[in-house]
Structure 1
Amino acid sequence: MTYQPLAIADHLPERLTLTLWDFSWFVRTGPGEPFEDLDRAFEEAVERGYNTVRICAMPYLLFGSGIDTSELRLGGMGGQYAQGVRWYDVKAETTIDARAHLLELFRAAKRHNCFVIVSSWEYQQSPAFAATDEWYRALHAVAPEERAVELARAEAALLDFLAQHELADRVAFVELHNEVQIGHLTEGLDAFGDEAVIPLRDRLARGVELFHELQPEVPVTVNYAGVPVGVMRGIPDNVDVLVVHPYVYGVLDDLIETYGLRGEVNAYRQAEARRDLLRADAPDVADWSVSAQDAWRLDAMIVSKPEIYTHDWCDPEAFDGWLYEHYGEHRHAMDVKLRLWFETAADHAAARGVPLVFGEGWVGYTPKDGRFEEGPVGARICREAMALSAQVGAWGSIVCSNAAPQHAMWADIRLQQEANALFTQK
């Protein structure tokens, strides 16, 4: 029997304009951090044309782990490690009552007439910011085959919790997890290729099915890094929304491969990187890591050591300069890939009869102090991607993954207003 997806609730916006608050909304709440004042963050979001935030809601921690989160201590990766890396450059340690903080986010969303996409980054990054490894250990105590099911159970309990406080109407939809092919949800499977696509799909489908049983009126899905062209059969048949992340990379892929940013430490091209990308005072990659007591954090996150090292120690102007110098070689291919991925995703969503959401994008993962995606090339891509999102009939889209309070692009109010208008205008 073919699954009949849930309809979009009448009270939700005709189009969701997303800003990616991920785990930053609870990690970066200390003095001077971008989410110190949630009302201010929502005010700024609305000013820029957003009506929806997408977050890691800590579902397993709050409603599955049994851990006391009334005094959850949070901070960075330890010392100066990853301070040059986007999303990881947490400056101020803080302690929160995590359930109370979740309620405050939803109350602030309601005050500003915004909505929330409830997701989880717990099998990728979120636990790496906790003061201890308790959260990380609890997640990994769950058998890989059962992780999607336990996430579903926890997220259903989270929805009950919100309903008790008359806040469940703020939920646009639920994602079992972020980028399911990348991270510890795939443990025990070789890769998201032919040999793993069906086993992973079945794991996820069981989680979606359980969530439907527990919350029959709330749309639920999973989301994918990129658009999984060639393995679209791996997307569970019972999702209510298709969510994909079209990072086209192109010239950034060229840089990553040229210097070995995503390989093993011993394969990193240290001499070439030192010549072309790094600051003069950079140590060798083998000498840059977390302390022994923080070593567990490296498994709790998914960014490779050479990539963290390069972002920490690069000369941002040199990094950007390399991208600009080589962009012309990749521009056409990047434009074609973006359009092809959009059209493929839109066609698949239409075939399934589900709405389409672009939850992240567009170029890729650049250093915290790099400005390629915030500059003229990136801004052009942001505008074109939002216009194309409208053309293919997407329900939700994002100006750029870097268009959020924890990134420099947040200061470019005009770009965000223009890009959101391109998506929402009739």
Structure 2
Amino acid sequence: MTHSTTTPVALAMWDFSWLERRWPGAGYEDWEQALDELTDRGYDTVRIDAYPHLVAAGPYREWELVPVWNQQMWGAPAPVRVRVLPALIAFLTAARRHGVAVILSSWFREDVEDTRMWIRSPQDLAGIWVETLRHLDQAGLLDTVLFVDLCNEFPLDIWAPFLYSDPSIRRIAPGEPGRRYAARSTPEVAVWMRSAIDGVRTVHPDLDLTFSVSTELATWPDQEVGFLDVLEVHVWMANSESGDYDRRVGYHQPRFSDEGYRRLARHGREEYERDRLRHDEALFTMIDTMADWSRAVGKPLYTSECWSLVDYKDWPGLEWDWILDLNARAVEYAAGTGRWAGMATSNFCGPQFVGMWREVEWHRRLTRAITSATLDADLADTVPSRDVGGETVAARADGHVRGSGLRV
């Protein structure tokens, strides 16, 4: 697949599934096949967990990971054993062969020793990433990395529990695990983010760095993001910040109970179709809000988790057609803003989501829409670019400015 330097990238989020879902039938047991299917659908970039805390603590040792949930299709529903660095090098090497760029992130998966809690400062966070990138540099694989997201959906404590061991953060966000939130608009969190970014940038000044986010989207004017190279925002219709879909359905993202999916099967589609204009407006208004943020700060947008529901899967009573329709309209709308240098078609864009993955023509149509979109002229010198296997995976503007208009 040939990548033009004027095209945004089409993303797929393979999170920690790329490593943890490798039993027969889990979707990633054969990386060559998975990457073949990915590129056949028109995708040229994946976002994966690099497990930097485990690479830094023991790159070649075997780690036992505990499940973060058993109801979702991301990762393993039971404990698994992994050796991170050899797998990471092998996967990036395979991605290069397929002309696929990689966004490195981390969900900071819990192992039986809870190694992630060794991170006590932003300098520690920077240090584990520097060590991980050193290994990839030694393997000659840094050219496959489009950018690095230092922590998924920062500062949610499900992914960044280590943040809340810092006394300065505990003072502003007391409470039990799962009930803590320290806003990015606070000086304490902003300093944490900037210090971690600076620590990695000192060693890798040419590598683009960010923290992905899924909260405080509507209050972006209150946040300092000058130290981020790109904005990696996760946007859904079901995000409670923009609408009330989950509340109306009664879905509360239970991690170890199927009650949430039984509620989605009973009420999910019915609620959306009953008040479609309301729910669509919540999504499309948030897309406009993110485009406004990008224009205000002059940074390109990437979205690897999106657009309809946060959680979905192949399950009795759950149908994919209405999810496909809403996601398609969101992709086309977001692409028309001229602000997205890369986006996914959903956060179910992986082989384990059989009902969506098998819709090959749907994927091809939308990845064409993504990669044929034109970026606003001001983004020409701000988007990352990597040469992967002799093909440039990049997002560059050609000077044409696109506007937007609400289509629901």
1:119 matches 2:105: yes
Return 5+ residue gaps in structure 1 as ranges: 1-9, 263-302
1:236 matches 2:225: yes
Query: Normalized against structure 2, the TM-score is what?
Result: 0.77
> What is the CA-CA distance between 1:212 and the residue it aligns to?
1.1
192-201 or 241-250, which moves further after superposition? 192-201
1:324 matches 2:269: yes
> What is the CA-CA distance between 1:425 and the residue it aligns to?
2.1
Following the alignment from structure 1 to structure 2, what is the Cα–Cα distance between the partners of residues 335 and 253? Answer: 9
Following the alignment from structure 1 to structure 2, what is the Cα–Cα distance between the partners of residues 261 and 319? Answer: 7
Name the amino acid aligned to 2:351: P
Q: SS at 1:308's partner residue?
A: coil
> What is the CA-CA distance between 1:58 and the residue it aligns to?
0.4
Counterparts in 2 of 1:413 and 1:371: CA distance versus 1, 3 Å: farther
Following the alignment from structure 2 to structure 1, what is the Cα–Cα distance between the partners of residues 182 and 18? Answer: 33
Following the alignment from structure 2 to structure 1, what is the Cα–Cα distance between the partners of residues 183 and 215? Answer: 17
Name the amino acid aligned to 1:120: S
Name the amino acid aligned to 2:73: R
Alpha carbons 2:63, 2:81 under 8 Å: kept:
yes
Counterparts in 2 of 1:108 and 1:373: CA distance versus 1, 3 Å: farther
Q: SS at 2:256's partner residue?
A: helix
Return 5+ residue gaps in structure 2 as ranges: 165-169, 174-179, 374-408
Counterparts in 2 of 1:372 and 1:53: CA distance versus 1, 3 Å: farther
Task: Return the match for 2:348 from 381, 396, 402.
Answer: 402
> What is the CA-CA distance between 1:239 and the residue it aligns to?
0.5
User: What is aligned with 2:74?
Assistant: 87
Counterparts in 2 of 1:412 and 1:89: CA distance versus 1, 3 Å: farther
1:257 matches 2:247: yes
User: What is aligned with 1:141?
Assistant: 118
User: What is aligned with 1:214?
Assistant: 203
Task: Return the match for 2:283 from 338, 354, 358.
Answer: 338
Alpha carbons 1:261, 1:310 under 8 Å: kept:
no
User: What is aligned with 1:224?
Assistant: 213
User: What is aligned with 1:411?
Assistant: 358
User: What is aligned with 2:167?
Assistant: none
User: What is aligned with 2:384?
Assistant: none
Following the alignment from structure 2 to structure 1, what is the Cα–Cα distance between the partners of residues 229 and 318? Answer: 31
Counterparts in 2 of 1:417 and 1:73: CA distance versus 1, 3 Å: same
State, as a whole percentage, how many aligned pairs show the same letter: 24
User: What is aligned with 1:7?
Assistant: none
1:377 matches 2:322: yes
> What is the CA-CA distance between 1:14 and the residue it aligns to?
2.9
> What is the CA-CA distance between 1:320 and the residue it aligns to?
2.6
Following the alignment from structure 1 to structure 2, what is the Cα–Cα distance between the partners of residues 158 and 307? Answer: 30
Counterparts in 2 of 1:239 and 1:163: CA distance versus 1, 3 Å: same
244-253 or 331-340, which moves further after superposition? 244-253
Task: Return the match for 2:190 from 198, 201, 212.
Answer: 201
Name the amino acid aligned to 1:149: Q
Alpha carbons 2:155, 2:184 under 8 Å: kept:
no
Name the amino acid aligned to 1:310: D
Name the amino acid aligned to 1:23: F
Alpha carbons 2:182, 2:189 under 8 Å: kept:
no
> What is the CA-CA distance between 1:71 and the residue it aligns to?
2.4
User: What is aligned with 1:360?
Assistant: 305
Name the amino acid aligned to 2:58: I
Superposition map of 1:292-303 within 5 A: none
User: What is aligned with 1:70?
Assistant: 61
Q: SS at 1:174's partner residue?
A: strand
Task: Return the match for 2:258 from 310, 325, 334.
Answer: 310
Task: Return the match for 1:49 from 42, 48, 56.
Answer: 42
Alpha carbons 2:154, 2:211 under 8 Å: kept:
yes
User: What is aligned with 1:268?
Assistant: none
- RMSD of Structure 2 on Structure 1 (CA): 3.0
